[in-house]
Amino acid sequence: MEKGTLKDGNGTRITYYVNGQKESEGTFKSGKAEGLWIFYHENGRKASEGTMIDGKKRRSVEVLQPCREVGRSDQFQK
């Protein structure tokens, strides 16, 4: 499923997993991914974000979430 304002290759695009959780969001310019794109895990947590220039990934950052287990604050999960 997709939402956004994408028209004639320009605008925002948001995709969703079958379970309704957001999968990705970002913008297009002249039909190519441009600017900040954010990607999510199927459980809704942010997986990574990256900068797209002319449809190519230029910089990517993996996002780590703190583990919620008691006594294990020094570990992270994806």
Query: What is this structure's pTM?
Result: 0.71
Whole-number pLDDT of residue 6: 85
Specify if 75 maps to a domain: no
Q: Is residue 74 part of a domain?
A: no
14 in a structural domain? yes
Number of structural domains the chain divides into: 1
Asked, for residue 20, whether it belongs to a domain, the answer is: yes
Domain of 41 in residue numbering reads as 2-64
pLDDT tens-digit map of 13-50: 999 999 999 999 999 999 999 999 999 999 999 888 88
Return the residue matching tokens 């002319």. 54
Q: Is residue 77 part of a domain?
A: no
Question: Residue 78 — pLDDT band, cuts 50, 70, 90?
Answer: very low
Residues 14-27 as b/e (b if ≥16 CB within 10 A, e otherwise) read beeeeeeebbbbbb
